[in-house]
Structure 1
Amino acid sequence: MIYWFSSTGNSEHIAMRLAELLNEITIEINHNTEIEKNSKMIFVIPLYFWTLPIIVRNLFDRNSWVYNEEVIVVFTCGGYIGTADRDVKNLVHPANSLVYQLPMQTNYIVWHKLDDDKTVCDKLEKADVELESIASQIKSSISTYHSPFYLMPLGKIFKTLYEKQRRTKLFYTTDKCISCKLCEIGCPDQAIHLIDGKPQWIKNKCQHCLKCIHRCPKQAIEYGKNTVGKRRYINKDKG
């Protein structure tokens, strides 16, 4: 079984490809997801600030794990997953856990700009090739990723930053909004509601997945000043 969470399609694409390689079925993670316990459970999720999206963390938290269960996490990321493996091990202890990092195109335009189209394409093609190696390692229960101990303080700082960024007060819409409701419908936290035809963030915190920003057909949603004028991103294979 492969469980996945995705906002712009990277992790969804990888989950579907991995399902083909491993002959598995897939389940999208939402707030009501229940894990079907078996000897090997695979999760394909995006990396947020060197840790798991809160929706996945909560899923892990509300489950009990035992030694003979193998929990496998493939993180899609912009480059490096830092101490994310330690968070997984802490959440699923005492179960066995294997962690993999799979660099793709980052969608975190709050801090970064998107690469040009050719670079994006090259990154995604490279990720598909690397995924075949990861699939082979999963079959053999082998993972070579282990974050160094000295990065732990930095990992704690990033998790604190994630909690800060999860606040929704910096989201807003511009006059380009056409009241299509896609942001309201697509929000995994149901944190957006149209009031007088315009999106309003009705919860103090969300996943900070930026799905509303990237999937808005008019690019009418911004996060403070940091996203203004920046290209949006959708994985074209799973957009």
Structure 2
Amino acid sequence: GNSLQIAQEIASRTGQEITFINSGGSADTDDTVFVVCPVYSYNIPRIVREYLPKMQLKPEQKAVLVVNFGSSPGNVLMAAFKDFEAAGIELRYGFGFQMPENYIMMFEPPSEEEIRELTSLVPEHVEYMLAHINGESHFEIQDSRFASLFTHFGRKWEKRMSSTKAFRVSGECTSCGLCESICPRHVISIKDGRPVWTSDSCEHCCGCIHRCPAGAISHKKSFKRSRYVNPNVHLPDSF
């Protein structure tokens, strides 16, 4: 929900429509195309990198990358610049917003007060960003110590993190099918009334865990941690 909140704020100010990349949509014809995504393993997600060649931007279109992260972003913008370049896209602008941490395989979600504080800053962040995309190329993000090293090794960790073997489903499952619907990789199927992970190509977005209305889905590393749902994004908006 963090990326969607940012995308909705951008759309409300620019009049653009939001395209979900896992739906197979292509980049629109607006002069400026915003790519909004989280930071996974100090990089932009694999699913985003795979989508970039499909964007087919025209030379006159400006590409803007807007990432959000919970703790450290690493050197994500510089790595992403190379990813865009490899896809034949000139990335001219890059921005990063800190949002509530939601990777519960490693971290406990923040308090309600911190969630409200971080999410309330989105309009201010977007306003600042829009004011800085009409001039020369601009890259701005909170950096971290050893940032490039984190990003380098993060890319190597991705294969290990794509495994789905550690997901669990409890008896509280109601067979609603929501997890199957929202999985960006489409690796969840409902079989005999319960979710089954069909492929080790998970993004570890944790959406199935956080969004399960019964709290029935967990990961062996997230079992005792609470769930997080962005309070500014409602469930129908996620489809």
TM-score normalised according to structure 2 size = 0.86
Residues 1:46 and 2:38 aligned together: yes
- Percent identical residues: 23
Call closer, same or farther: CA 1:148–1:48 in 2, change over 3 Å: closer
Aligned match of 1:82: 74
Counterpart of 1:95? Answer: 90
1:169 equivalent in alignment to 2:161: no
Indicate the residue corresponding to 1:221 in structure 2. Answer: 217
CA contact (8 A) 2:32 2:61 kept: yes
What is the distance in 2 between the residues matched to 1:24 and 1:65?
Answer: 16
Map residues 70-219 of structure 1 onto 2, 5 A cutoff.
70-93=62-85, 95-140=90-135, 143-145=138-140, 151-219=147-215
Deviates more, 1:22-31 or 1:154-163: 22-31
Deviation at 1:23, TM superposition (A): 3.1
Q: CA deviation at 1:20?
A: 1.9
Letter in 1 for 2:94: V
Q: Distance in 2 between matches of 1:22 and 1:63?
A: 19
Residue 28 of structure 1 is aligned with which of 12, 20, 27?
20
Alpha-carbon distance, 1:211 to partner: 0.8
Pairwise CA distance, 1:85:
1.0
Greater Cα shift, 29-38 or 14-23: 29-38
| Contiguous gaps of at least 5 residues in structure 2 | 235-239
- CA distance in structure 1 between the aligned counterparts of 2:59 and 2:147, rounded to whole angstroms: 27
**Structure 1: which 5+ residue stretches go unaligned?**
1-8
d(CA) in 2 for partners of 1:114 and 1:150? 24
Distance 1:23 1:99 in 2: 20
Over the aligned positions, Cα root-mean-square deviation in angstroms equals 2.3
Is this contact kept in 2: 1:192–1:200, CA < 8 A?
A: yes
1:213: how far off? 0.5
1:237 aligns to what? 232
> SS of 1:26's equivalent?
coil
Deviation at 1:68, TM superposition (A): 4.6
> Aligned in 2, Cα 1:88/1:69: closer, same or farther, shift over 3 Å?
farther
**1:138 and 1:145 mapped to 2: Cα distance?**
11
Structure 1 stretch displaced more, 146-155 or 181-190: 146-155
Residue in structure 1 matched with residue 237 of structure 2 by the alignment: none
Closer, same or farther: CA 167–97 of 1 in aligned 2, 3 Å:
farther
Taking structure 1 as the reference length, what is the TM-score of the superposition? 0.86
Aligned length: 230
